[in-house]
Structure 1
Amino acid sequence: MKFIKIPGINKRVSKLILGTMTFSPSKMDQVNSLLDSFLESGGNTLDTAHIYNDGKSEKAIGKWLKGRGNRNKVVIIDKGAHPDEYGPRVNPEAITTDLYESLDRLQTDYIDIYMLHRDNPDIPVEVIINTLNDHYNEGRIKAIGVSNWTNQRIEEANNYAKKNGLIGVSANSSNLSLAKPNEPMWPGCISVDECSLNWHEAVQMPLLSWSSQAGGFFTGRYSPNAVSDENIARVYYSEENWERYRRATELSEQIGGNTNQIALAYVLQQPFPISALIGSQNKAELYSSIKALDIHLTTDQLKWLDLRTKCRGRMGRG
């Protein structure tokens, strides 16, 4: 396993982060098997959210943590203040309510990286940063993160934090994958574009990419001539993405991995601290994703895969 460092966290964050959206206490045999295998493989970072599976994801993780007694070895990323049917919930009351409920479900007294699941630009960053710093000062969170925020809002929040001696945003979580979305998978979601890539490289802000494997777009289960999943087709079907698929397949045939591993390696090898969220449902999928860490792509190959050049350059593996 490989790792990145996120300010405020005294544990390294694994380059592969295991998503837990479908976890439930009713499936603890599967949960225990997958989480145990992830840790045995060197991974240590889990991603969950207050809204995932109506809270069952957090409860399942909490049962596993208590049963294994390994809280100090695991990095927990949790997210709160997701909008509901009434609209945005990025406010002090919702943040605090969600955080306390998440801590209770996880059976822990702190969350390593606490992220706001969405933004509400109508709420000043001063209010948000002050609220999160209150929880930081009480030890409930170790670092602040945001999901689906613009770079401009992150800069605004961090400028305020720095000016006032507070902790700011240590990590961003937006979508980055080799397949570029035609439109957001869910309302209010943000994907990394070229401008954002340049910003992350310039400031070296850690990125924790969700949907890093584009919902399985590169696994071979989809075809440009067949729509087996309307959402995948809506978001990812395009001539450009099928060309990216073709190029990833061509590289995989030369290197010896598979198309999905090449696509994941593209995400993992951006020129700034980055980890990729993976949605493995079983050990086979987990071990397949881990193999992407062994694939080395040159700068020319990264550009070629992303259709930014016609020349793929030298191929390598290491």
Structure 2
Amino acid sequence: MGWKLFISTHFDLKEEFQLDHLVKIGKSDVTTGPLGLGTNKVGGHNLFDGLKDENGVAVVKAALNDGISLLDTAFMYGLGKSEELIGDVIQDYDRSKIVIASKAAQDPNNDLKPNNDPKFLKKSVDEALERLNTDYIDIFYIHFPDDRTPKAEAVNALAEEKKAGKIRAIGVSNFSLDQIKEANADGQVDVVENHYSLVHRQAEKEVFSYLKDNNISFIPYLPLAMGLLTGKYGKNDASKFSKFSAEEFSGIIDSLGRVKTIADKHQATVAQIILAWYIANPDISVVIPGARIPEQVDSNAKALDVKLSEAEFDEIDQLF
């Protein structure tokens, strides 16, 4: 899904974090490194308590300085605030080396309910361009499907924006397989961003095969499962993750214990090993963990230095 290609040229935003392979997004001409930054904690005051804009700015700068080129944002992250903060930061960087992904669907004139109407999507692109203070957006997603707009019509609207040079790649997010197929009726979808992690693997059975057959990239959100896959929780924390039964949670903690053994071998953290697993997975194009403070970005970036053996990759795959 997309492809990962080892090449000899690198982004040079920061020497020690040069990427050793680029990922092509679907059928577009967008290429990026395999590790991005999810920015819902950059300006996402409507989603998280206690966020500080100065921390959000520092997080974006840390990512770019660490050689992380893809910034994944959305209107819904602070109702445009995340895009505005990113737009301010990127003025001090080489725009050609940054891949910006944004999303829209929530209609501020209708209680933030999803709206895939072509006119609404085109207006959303223009407004995102203004907030991001840029001439183009590399990837633009329909953030959520609505229950009335034919999906191919919605995608065709974005195809017109692509032809106009306002966006470079077309994405859909939170779409089921049937909705993805409808959206891709004319072969214009480049990338899907859906919920996926080592403890939430339904996408493997539900959409991976179709995406691979149709040259559509896959980018998972919540790859660290709201912090569960960082290794910082123990068996006494089951109440914080109520979606899992007590038995399931206990099994996940046991599996993370084994991941810790692998991490120690690599002088890495559990989170870095989990991210390295996604980076090595050919079914995943880019992994986009979020961060509240720049130190978390710096730590995540070190996952690029971890090279799992085939045996380690397979063991982690089977643990979850």
What TM-score do the two structures reach when normalised by structure 1? 0.80
Could you say if the C-alpha distance between residues 123 and 248 of structure 1 is closer, same or farther in structure 2, counting changes exceeding 3 Å? same
Quick check: 1:72 aligned with 2:96? Answer: yes
Deviation at 1:69, TM superposition (A): 5.3
The aligned counterpart of 1:23 is 42
Deviation at 1:36, TM superposition (A): 2.8
- For the aligned residue pairs, the C-alpha RMSD in angstroms reads 2.9
The aligned counterpart of 2:225 is 214
Letter in 1 for 2:40: M
5 Å-filtered alignment, 1:276-291, equals 276-291=287-302
What TM-score do the two structures reach when normalised by structure 2? 0.79
From 237, 240, 243, the equivalent of 1:234 is 243
Letter in 2 for 1:37: A
Could you list the per-position Cα deviations for residues 130-188 of structure 1 after superposition, in whole angstroms to 9, with x for gaps in the alignment?
21122222222111011111233323332x324xxxxx11111112222228xxxxxxx
Letter in 1 for 2:37: L
Q: Is the 8 A contact 1:204 1:272 kept in 2?
A: no
Quick check: 1:92 aligned with 2:118? Answer: yes
1:53 partner SS: coil
Aligned residue pair count = 291
From 166, 180, 194, the equivalent of 1:174 is 194
Could you say if the C-alpha distance between residues 214 and 72 of structure 1 is closer, same or farther in structure 2, counting changes exceeding 3 Å? same
Could you say if the C-alpha distance between residues 228 and 279 of structure 1 is closer, same or farther in structure 2, counting changes exceeding 3 Å? farther
Quote the sequence identity (%).
27
2:190 partner SS: strand
1:280 partner SS: coil
2:37 partner SS: strand
Could you say if the C-alpha distance between residues 117 and 275 of structure 1 is closer, same or farther in structure 2, counting changes exceeding 3 Å? same
Q: Is the 8 A contact 1:62 1:106 kept in 2?
A: yes
Could you say if the C-alpha distance between residues 275 and 86 of structure 1 is closer, same or farther in structure 2, counting changes exceeding 3 Å? closer
Structure 1's unaligned 5+ residue stretches are 163-167, 182-190, 310-318
Q: Is the 8 A contact 2:42 2:57 kept in 1?
A: no
The aligned counterpart of 2:203 is 192
In 2: Cα distance, 1:279 partner to 1:222 partner:
18
In 2: Cα distance, 1:86 partner to 1:24 partner:
17
1:262 partner SS: helix
Could you say if the C-alpha distance between residues 273 and 41 of structure 1 is closer, same or farther in structure 2, counting changes exceeding 3 Å? same
Deviation at 1:203, TM superposition (A): 4.4
Structure 2's unaligned 5+ residue stretches are 1-18, 45-50
Q: Is the 8 A contact 1:8 1:142 kept in 2?
A: no
Quick check: 1:58 aligned with 2:83? Answer: yes
Could you list the per-position Cα deviations for residues 31-74 of structure 1 after superposition, in whole angstroms to 9, with x for gaps in the alignment?
443333322222211011011112110111111123x1532321
Quick check: 1:4 aligned with 2:23? Answer: yes
